[in-house]
Every structure is written in structure tokens, then in C-alpha cells.
Amino acid sequence: MPDPNPAALDFLLSRRSRPAKTLRAPAPSREELEPLLRAAARSPDHGKLEPWRFIVIEAGAMPRLADLAETRAHALHKDETDTAKARNQFDQGHLAVAVIEVQKPSEKIPAIEQSYSAGAVCLALLNAALASGWGANWLTGWISHDRTFCETGLGLAEHERIAGFIHIATETNAPPDRPRPDLDAITTWVSQ
């Protein structure tokens, strides 16, 4: 017989990301962030490769990254909307954790499984922040795939890429729930 954890299941059934633009100071301190990072690092990791790492972007680094995002948008001839979106992520940010996918050579663990693991870390960090009472949101966008931004702004190596920016700060108001997938439409049961 399983040993249920109803509180954890209730949390997962009702969890809701908070729009990054609604997050306000304060953000978690280093001491408050460490258990969230520890929880995220417990994500599935076939072969124990640890194909990810964290870069914590504190408030003091946000203006530099906002400026770099705008510079890159102009260099790539992005329109005003794309430019503003990339810049605002950092202009409005108080603390973000960049989850960095670090592909590692392995004969047993395919690259795609390492990508899945990095994605799992993003979701685990997001859920850990929400479960701790913080507001949190997982963002990417074109800026997270721009090599110049990644290398210049965050010092990423050639074999690294951004799986997501997890913005964490104080929730100002919980958004209403949104429509969820129709389980019957996306589930197939195989009995034989």
C-alpha cells in the first residue's frame, strides 16, 4: 500500500506560475535560495552526470544584462516587441536563476536525456520556490538562445546553453487559474 502525501499532491494539482512582471522585492536571500537549489538538484539525472549547473543572477547584475539584451536585439534587427520582452525580463527582475544545460560526453546517456534532465531541474526549482511561498516564473525567449548573449553575459562555454531563467521574488497577487488540458483528449490507456 502506498504512503500518500496529500499536501504535496494538493500543491502539485493547484500550482500556478506567477507572471514575472508581477514579482516584487524582496527576493530570496542566499540562505533562502540554497534549499531551493538543493531541491532542484534532486531532479532525475540518468547516469549521475549532473548535466546542468546554476548561475544566480542577483539584482545588481540585472541592468547589465538588460543593456546587453537590448544591444543584441538591435544587432539582430529584432522588432520593438522582441527587444522590449528580452530587456524587460532583466529590467523587472529581482533575482533569477539561470539553469544551464551542460552536455557531457556519455556512451550510455543520450544528449536528449541530458536536456530532459535540465528541463526537470527548471520545473523542480520553480515548484520549490512556489512551495516555499515565493512567486516564480520560468522564462526563456530568443535571448536565451543567442550565443553572444550567453557567452558575453553569463560566461557560458560552447557546450552549454540556457534551459531557462527561473525568476523568483515576492508574489504581489496570485493570477486566476487558467484553463488546463483536457485529460481525456491527451491520455491513451494501453491495457494489452
> What is the chain's pLDDT, residue by residue, as a tens digit (192 residues)?
888 889 998 888 888 888 888 899 999 999 999 999 999 999 999 889 999 999 999 999 999 999 999 999 999 999 999 999 999 999 999 999 999 999 999 999 999 999 999 999 999 999 999 999 999 999 999 999 999 999 999 999 999 999 999 999 998 877 777 888 889 999 999 999
52 in a labelled binding site: no
43 in a labelled binding site: no
The residues near 88 (Cβ < 8 Å, ≥ 6 apart) are 21, 66
Q: What is the pLDDT of residue 148?
A: 97
Distance CA 12, CA 72 (A): 37
147 in a labelled binding site: no
9 in a labelled binding site: no
140 in a labelled binding site: yes
Q: What is the pLDDT of residue 87?
A: 96
Distance CA 97, CA 57 (A): 6
The residues near 116 (Cβ < 8 Å, ≥ 6 apart) are 44
Q: What is the pLDDT of residue 18?
A: 87
Domains, the chain, ranges and CATH?
Answer: 18-172 (3.40.109.10)
